[in-house]
């Protein structure tokens, strides 16, 4: 089969988490395994194998993502792994870029200095206002986590550290109000995730009335962003990751026959030194791709790609959808979790279509008079800085 090379490695470095979120992937899925420990020696062997065998020839930049459970609860290992990767980068002449997904409750002055010093791209989980967030993301003693997270974010802002908010969307509060709140805490980007659990165990599961409300809310959000784009308000507006992706699609980028690059452009490494398609697949029975001794086992990778990660055109409900080239679809591992790799959820489809509609309205309203605003909202400013020069937002 095709020999894949990967530009990104996701690393599992922690077997602990201090929260008990009601929709935690590992807690609510019947197939979630028992948490396994981290073996640093095996982890380092896996990193070595990745760098020596799985990266593109003459790679100039490689991405390393720390996530799963709460990685900052094992900060000493995070610290040492980053230092190790940097030493390997000097030997092999590539530039490493580090990413971290965290629940935001473990920041300290030492940790923040380290993250800033190594230019980490940060994602912090925060669902919005405290009455929504604390209902779903609580400490194990049942106390809310909102206040501690927001306190940590204030320190990040004071240190000039930019961050993206990962937010599970609930219909309790209009999405545009939640977005406005994230602007007030000065998040640089927002990534909304609709609650996907396919039953009613978690509060906030979408009913048909919730979908209709969500669609109206997204129209209101688009109106607000158009007004900001036509004026000079984008400097304080966080970019919305899904709208960013959809605008890139409308600008001719981000067109892919696959929902994501798990197992194709990036790969996950467990704390025990085993390779998986991504962090969320780690330790799930049947999805190990190999390890530092076996390498990537072709039949395992082929099984994953053909069964769990098909092309969009192979999924009946997506094949003829008008946004199938722009939608990132329901996560491959989420489909595996419900044991139906070709199923789509109507509320998830409505969520993506609503966001695409908002992006299309933005594109249509701004492309002629404010192309710089389109470039900003699409996250393409670094690629096309000439379109930003002298725009009203820079005044």
The pLDDT tens digits of the residues spanning 344-376 come to 667 778 888 899 999 999 999 999 999 988 998
User: What element of type H or E holds 375?
Assistant: helix 371-377
H, E, C per residue of 184-233: HCCCCEEEEEECCCCCCCCCCCCCHHHHHHHHHHHHHHHHHHHHHHHCCC
Which band of pLDDT confidence, cut at 50, 70 and 90, is reported for residue 319? confident
- Whole-number pLDDT of residue 338: 59
Q: What is the pLDDT of residues 293-303, one digit of tens each?
A: 989 999 999 99
Report the side by side order of strands in the sheet with 189-194.
239-240, 189-194, 163-169, 121-125, 95-102, 61-67, 8-12, 266-269, 274-276, 290-291, 295-296
Residue spans of beta strands (DSSP E) within the chain: 8-12, 61-67, 95-102, 121-125, 163-169, 189-194, 239-240, 266-269, 274-276, 290-291, 295-296
Name the residue with tokens 């990036």: 266
pLDDT level of residue 261 (50, 70, 90 thresholds):
confident
pLDDT(202) > 50: no
CA separation for the pair 106, 171 (Å, rounded): 28
Q: Residue 205 — very low, low, confident or very high, per pLDDT cuts 50/70/90? A: low
When the pLDDT of each residue in the chain is averaged and rounded to a whole number, the result is 85
Give the pLDDT of residue 31: 41
Residue 26: what pLDDT?
64
Local structure of residue 54 (DSSP, 8 states):
I
3-state secondary structure of 380: coil
Beta-carbon count within 10 A of 4 CB: 17
Locate 99 and state its tokens.
């990413």
Residue 328's pLDDT band, with cuts at 50, 70 and 90, is low
What phi and psi, each to the nearest 5 degrees, are found at residue 137?
Answer: -125, 90
Q: Select from 349, 339, 357, 340 the least CA-distant residue to 318.
A: 349
pLDDT at 200 exceeding the cut of 70? no
Q: Enter the CATH code of domain 1-161+260-308.
A: 3.20.20.70
């Amino acid at each position: 089969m095709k020999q894949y090379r990967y530009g990104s490695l996701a690393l599992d470095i922690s077997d602990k988490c201090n929260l008990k979120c009601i929709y935690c992937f590992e807690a609510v899925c019947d197939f979630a395994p028992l948490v396994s420990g981290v073996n640093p020696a095996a982890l380092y062997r896996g990193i070595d194998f990745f760098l020596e065998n799985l990266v593109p020839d003459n790679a100039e930049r490689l991405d390393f993502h720390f996530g799963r459970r709460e990685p900052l609860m094992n900060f000493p290992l995070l610290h040492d792994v980053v230092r190790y990767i940097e030493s390997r980068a000097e030997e092999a002449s590539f530039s490493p870029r580090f990413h971290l997904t965290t629940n935001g409750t473990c920041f300290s002055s030492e940790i923040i200095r380290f993250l800033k010093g190594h230019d980490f791209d940060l994602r912090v989980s925060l669902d919005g206002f405290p009455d929504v967030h604390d209902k779903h993301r609580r400490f194990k003693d049942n106390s809310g986590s909102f206040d501690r997270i927001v306190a940590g974010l204030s320190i990040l802002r004071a240190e000039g550290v930019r961050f993206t908010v990962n937010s599970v969307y609930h219909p309790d509060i209009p999405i545009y109000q939640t977005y406005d709140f994230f602007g007030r805490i000065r998040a640089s980007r927002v990534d909304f995730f609709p609650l996907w659990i396919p039953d009613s165990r978690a509060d906030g599961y979408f009913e048909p009335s919730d979908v209709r409300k969500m669609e109206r809310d997204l129209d209101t959000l688009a109106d607000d962003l158009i007004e900001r784009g036509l004026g000079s308000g984008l400097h304080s507006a966080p970019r919305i990751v899904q709208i960013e992706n959809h605008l890139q699609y409308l600008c001719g980028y981000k067109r892919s026959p696959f929902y994501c690059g798990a197992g194709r452009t990036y790969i996950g490494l467990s704390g025990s030194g085993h390779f998986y398609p991504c962090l969320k697949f780690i330790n799930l029975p049947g999805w190990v791709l190999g390890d530092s001794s076996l390498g990537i086992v072709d039949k395992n990778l082929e099984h994953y790609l053909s069964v769990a990660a098909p092309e969009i055109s192979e999924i009946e409900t997506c094949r003829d959808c008008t946004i199938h080239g722009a939608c990132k679809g329901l996560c491959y591992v989420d489909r595996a979790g419900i044991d139906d790799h070709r199923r789509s959820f109507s509320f998830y489809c409505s969520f993506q279509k609503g966001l695409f509609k908002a992006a299309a309205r933005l594109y249509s309203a701004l492309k002629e008079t404010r192309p710089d605003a389109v470039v900003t909202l699409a996250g393409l400013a670094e690629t096309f800085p000439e379109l930003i020069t002298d725009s009203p937002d820079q005044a």
